[in-house]
Structure 1
Amino acid sequence: MNAVLYRVEDRPPAPMTLILAVQHLLAALGGIIAVPLVLASALHLDSPSTIALVNAALLGSGIVTIIQCKGVGPIGIRLPCVMGTSFTFVGAGISVGMEHGVAGILGSSMAASLIMIAGSFFMPTIRKFFPHTVTGVVVAMIGLSLTPVAVDWAAQGMGGQAYGDLSSLAVAGFVLALVIAFVQWGRGIVSASAIVLGILIGYAVCVLLGVVDFAPVRQAPVFALPKPLFFGVSFPVSGIAAMALAYLVTIVETTGTFMALGVATGVDISGKALSRGILCDGIGSAAAALISSPPVSTFAQNVGVVTLTGVASRHVVALTGVLLVLAGLFPVLGALVVTIPQPVLGGAGLMMFAMIIAAGVRMLGKAADSRRSSLIVAVSIGCGLAVTMRPNLLAQMPDFIREIFGSGITVGAMAAVLLNALLPGQEREPVHEEFPVPENAEAVERSSC
């Protein structure tokens, strides 16, 4: 991992802040847009409805990102945390939407978010189940689960006829080499913005080669106002139950992501900090439903950006939230980012996600060297990878089982927590002091000086 160039409370110069914020935007935007597009396709929505859903997702993600980074009273973890629509909710969302439409998805999400809001108050207790060994497993599983995504990007998308095309792999390899070079030999802003520089150069090369499709830019509206309750809301009991399961899974995944973010930023994540972050996820998802957005959660891929670049400033990522809001209001901006070829994103993504794995390995290296720890690590990562690499493993299981255990991160985390609790000689986690959080703008200024 790079040394931390900018700590959580640091404020880089304005031009650098903008470049670094764009870097996080490029890492997150594709994932944020993908969820509403998948839902729209599955539910056969018309073009205006699809545009409204995408715009709402960008707007909701941006607003909750700002709150998560800056904090509002007891809400928000106040770390460089990008929020976005989550694939954890796609399965439940499609099943609810098929019967009750988008209104059922939004209403179910709003009602079921109470699970996450209530769960936030138990995070100080839950934090005790995450000593070094368990946290290391979860951080490593986040990287291991995301790496196949980057590989598919590099190979031009799973399922396509061009998958593994040599030219696509060459572009991805070129971008990967650029990012490595910028991180290793760059200084200052070059090293800190290695990802955005690699993507921009790779994108420019693809434009020169004539492989960039600008149709999304031509088709996207320049400006679009948000449309609260555009689809309406309804509260089917079956839909609320399905979404509640997805929120339970999200609590586990988000806890792991926050722990990984703590490693990347050099901040000890206390139970109170987890409570503020999870509370923001829950309230943010409920508020997002009011503006017609699917539920939001913490984006693990942006932890890779922090890990790789050493830029841990929450103020940088808060600006990313502002850019997401602008992308929601000016869809043409988001459409321009969507034109970046997948192999370009794959080259940068492979580096980002692999760095998360490295962070997890370093954490495991600090854990106790014992047969007990080895068992926890081996079984947990093995179970997590089984689901990640062979998702059809659960194909014959009931829907609620697939909903809970469909994520390798969740399976790995649950296995590690369970083994750590059951095996004799439970690892003791040192007591962490609550990291200081400014209570007002003046305190922020003082702490950043």
Structure 2
Amino acid sequence: MNKLLFQVDDRPPLITTTLLAAQHMLAALGGIIAVPLVVGAVLKLPADQIVALINAALLGSGIVTIIQCKGVGPIGIRLPCVMGTSFAFVGAAISIGLEHGVPGILGSSLAGSVVMIIGSCFMPQIRKLFPHAVTAVVVTMIGLSLVPVAIDWAAGGKGSGAHYGDPINLGIALFVLVTVIALVQYGKGIFSAAAVVLGMFVGYLVCVAMGLVDFSSVQKAAAFSLPQPFAHGMTFPISGIVAMGVAYVVTMVETTGTFMALGSATNTKMRGKTLARGVLCDGVGSACVAMLGSPPVSTFAQNVGVISLTGVASRHVVALTGVMLALAGLFPVLGAMVVTIPQPVLGGAGLMMFAMIIAAGVQMLSKVEHSKRTGIIIAVSIGCGLAVSVRPELLAKLPAFVHEIFGSGISTAAIVAVTLNLILPERPVEASDDDEEDVPQPMLVKKLEAA
């Protein structure tokens, strides 16, 4: 069991809650904003449409995060779970958008969400496909898949060109990493719990002093912006709905793995009904954000690392994160302010958070029953997951639907682990001579008399 500073239903003091919620927001914000930016750039959308997509994504992510944490009837897992736009949908969104534009993306997202909503009804059965060995593999793979993201941030970001890996970028990231480690190890109370946000704040101040922060986006951002549902319109191309449906299936596998990791981090037993509430929220939430004008949302794995690092598992903290995200969507100037945080600052904190997920996965793997069968499941599934993570071009010449399903290292590892767990036979344990020696003497006498 993990030692938690705050349990799932605890309510920390307001100032503490605000700081803790802010660090969850900082961990998730880059991912939420990145998806609309990537899709908008590829489709060559006007700047105002990209801004509208970002605002809708922030607002939608915030609202669904609140529902996921607090729960509304049968919807919501009621755990500290941050929701945001997912890269699992980027490939499908771009292919649909190139042919049918943004209305096709949003219509396909709305219609495809039915796949996840229906899938939530079968989560008790799906849960049986995730025994401890499979869950441990997925948790480990989540961390392994996220670490390269933190490395890119630390180096200055993928789009930094010639400045990628500059010593100044690596130095800032290292400074933030050391600061976070010091606060976690030696800090007391709030200084330990809020180590991520405090470390990033110190790193941000250093960057401001060095003149590395660009405030131009803050000056251009609107102070307030109301959402405009259905502003882009909607169309429902059959090919787009099928593509999004496949993406939702893949996301459901990833989300199940993330929920299992979340259960481990929060000391919560993940039952089928619990998973069903969470996946249902993913599906219903994606349908709602499509109407707001945002790409689909899913559970963010990186925030599990925040919980593992800080020991703060309060769902009320993360519900406040949802409020902050929603406000960032309504007040774009707030989101623009957060976007000014340099990538190396995010990288230093992210490396620590994501590595903690790997550590949690390794701890789970250490508790798996050691046998040739489980060894094969662990080795092959993690190997396949790493293969598509470090060499994504491996799938470039395969059909598009194969890339959709196996494009993520997390989904690949999960699918391979579940498949091997189903097809590899359980081998009965055979008694050895050593076992016979451990039998008490009176029992041996009875065995000999019976013979």
CA distance in 1, matches of 2:99, 2:419: 36
Q: Report the Cα distance in structure 2 between the residues aligned to 1:157 and 1:345, rounded to whole angstroms.
A: 10
Cα drift, residue 195 of structure 1: 0.2
Cα distance in 2, alignment partners of residues 57 and 345 from structure 1: 20
What is the CA-CA distance between 1:240 and the residue it aligns to?
0.3
**Structure 1 residue 45: Cα displacement:** 1.3
In 1, are the aligned partners of 2:2 and 2:267 still within 8 Å (CA)? Answer: no
Question: Is the 8 Å Cα contact of residues 172 and 343 (structure 1) preserved in structure 2?
Answer: yes
The CA distance in 1 between the partners of 2:392 and 2:421, in whole Å, is: 25
User: d(CA) in 1 for partners of 2:47 and 2:383?
Assistant: 43
The aligned residue for residue 107 of structure 1 is: 107
Q: State the Cα distance separating 1:373 from its structure 2 match.
A: 1.2
| 1:265 corresponds to | 266
Secondary structure in structure 2 of the residue aligned to 1:161: helix
Query: Structure 2: which amino acid aligns with 1:10?
Result: D
Question: 1:375 — aligned with what?
Answer: 376
- What CA distance in whole angstroms lies between the structure 2 residues aligned with 1:115 and 1:324? 26
Gaps of 5+ in 1: 428-449
1:168 is paired with a residue whose SS is helix
Distance in 1, matches of 2:87 and 2:229, equals 22
Offset of residue 32 of structure 1: 0.3
Find the counterpart in structure 1 of residue 119 from structure 2. 119
Assess if the C-alpha contact under 8 Å between 1:303 and 1:356 holds in 2: yes
Kept after mapping to 1: 8 A contact 2:2/2:265 = no
What residue in structure 1 maps to residue 444 of structure 2? none
**Contact 2:80 / 2:319 at 8 angstroms: preserved in 1?**
yes
TM-score using structure 1 length: 0.94
- Partner Cα separation in structure 2 for residue 322 and residue 54 of structure 1: 16
**In the alignment, which residue of structure 2 is the partner of 1:180?**
181
The equivalent of 1:23 in structure 2 is 23
Give the CA deviation at 1:158: 2.4
Correspondence 1:88 to 2:88: yes
1:10 matched residue in structure 2: 10
Query: Whole-Å Cα distance in 1 between the matches of residues 41 and 320 of structure 2?
Result: 31
Q: Tell me the CA shift for residue 26 of structure 1.
A: 0.4
* Contact 1:2/1:308 (8 A) holds in 2: no
Q: Which residue of 1 aligns with 2:438?
A: none
SS in 1 for 2:162: coil
Distance 2:379 2:50 in 1: 43
Q: Could you tell me how far 1:50 is from its partner in structure 2? A: 1.4
Following superposition of structure 1 onto structure 2, how do residues 291-310 of structure 1 map, counting pairs within 5 Å? 291-310=292-311
Residue by residue over 1:249-277, the C-alpha shift from the partner in whole angstroms, topping out at 9 and shown as x without a partner, is: 00000000000000110101110000000
**Residues 10, 314 of structure 2: 8 Å contact kept:** yes
Inter-partner Cα distance in structure 2 for 1:184 and 1:260: 23
**Structure-2 residue corresponding to 1:276:** 277
- Aligned residues of 2:223 and 2:331 also touching (Cα < 8 A): yes
Q: TM-score, normalised by structure 2?
A: 0.93
CA distance in 2, matches of 1:338, 1:30: 7
1:395-414 correspondence to structure 2 within 5 Å: 395-414=396-415
Unaligned runs of 5+ in 2: 429-451
Shift of 1:2: 6.8
For residues 426 and 137 of structure 1, do their structure 2 counterparts lie closer, same or farther at Cα, with a shift above 3 Å needed? Answer: farther
Contact 1:171 / 1:344 at 8 angstroms: preserved in 2?
A: yes
TM superposition shift of 1:401: 0.5
Aligned position for 1:430 = none
Cα distance, 1:375 vs structure 2: 0.9
Q: Report which stretch shifted further, 251-260 or 45-54.
A: 45-54
Alignment correspondent of 1:212: 213
Q: Deviations over 1:95-151 (max 9, x none)?
A: 101111111000000000000000000000010111111000000000000000000
CA distance in 2: counterparts of 1:83 and 1:137, whole angstroms: 22
1:388 paired to 2:385 = no
Alpha-carbon contact 2:71-2:77 (below 8 Å) kept: yes
Question: Hey, what does 2:440 align to over in structure 1?
Answer: none
Query: Match for residue 330 of structure 1?
Result: 331
> Structure 1 counterpart of 2:321, which letter?
T
Note the alpha carbon deviations across 1:337-365, whole angstroms, 9 max, x for none.
11000000000000000000000000011
Greater C-alpha radius of gyration: 2
Instruction: Describe the SS at the equivalent of 1:122.
Output: helix
Rounded to whole Å, the distance in 2 between the matches of 1:99 and 1:140 is: 37
RMSD: 1.1
Q: How far apart in 1 are the matches of 2:263 and 2:305? A: 12
Describe the shift of the 1:366–1:49 C-alpha distance in structure 2 as closer, same or farther (beyond 3 A). same
Q: Could you tell me how far 1:371 is from its partner in structure 2?
A: 1.4
SS at match of 1:257: helix
Instruction: Output aligned runs, 1:109-148, within 5 Å.
Output: 109-148=109-148
Name 2:150's counterpart in structure 1.
150
In 2, the alpha carbon distance for the partners of 1:426 and 1:42 equals 51
Paired position in structure 2 for 1:443: none
Residues paired across the two proteins, number: 427
Deviations 1:169-215 (A, max 9, x none): 01000000011111111111011000000100000000000011111
Distance, in Å, in 2 between the alignment partners of 1:147 and 1:47 is 31
Aligned to 1:317: 318
| Contact 2:153 2:344 survives alignment (8 Å) | yes
SS of structure 2 residue aligned to 1:78: coil
For 1:76, the aligned partner's letter is G
Alpha-carbon distance between aligned partners in 2 of 1:396 and 1:234, rounded to the nearest angstrom? 30
Structure 2 matches for 1:432-447, cutoff 5 A?
Answer: none
Q: 2: CA distance between counterparts of 1:187 and 1:397?
A: 52
Q: Identify the residue that residue 45 of structure 2 maps to in structure 1.
A: 45
1:234 aligns with 2:235: yes
| Distance in structure 2 (CA, Å) of the matches to 1:295 and 1:273 | 21
**Residue 426 of structure 1: CA displacement?**
7.8
Structure 2: how far apart are the matches of 1:16 and 1:101?
44
Amino acid aligned to 1:67: I
Q: Which amino acid aligns with 2:375?
A: S
What's 2:441 paired with? none
Q: Distance in 2 between matches of 1:279 and 1:3?
A: 30
Q: What residue number does 2:419 align with?
A: 418
Change (3 A) 1:31 1:346: same
Matched AA of 1:308: L
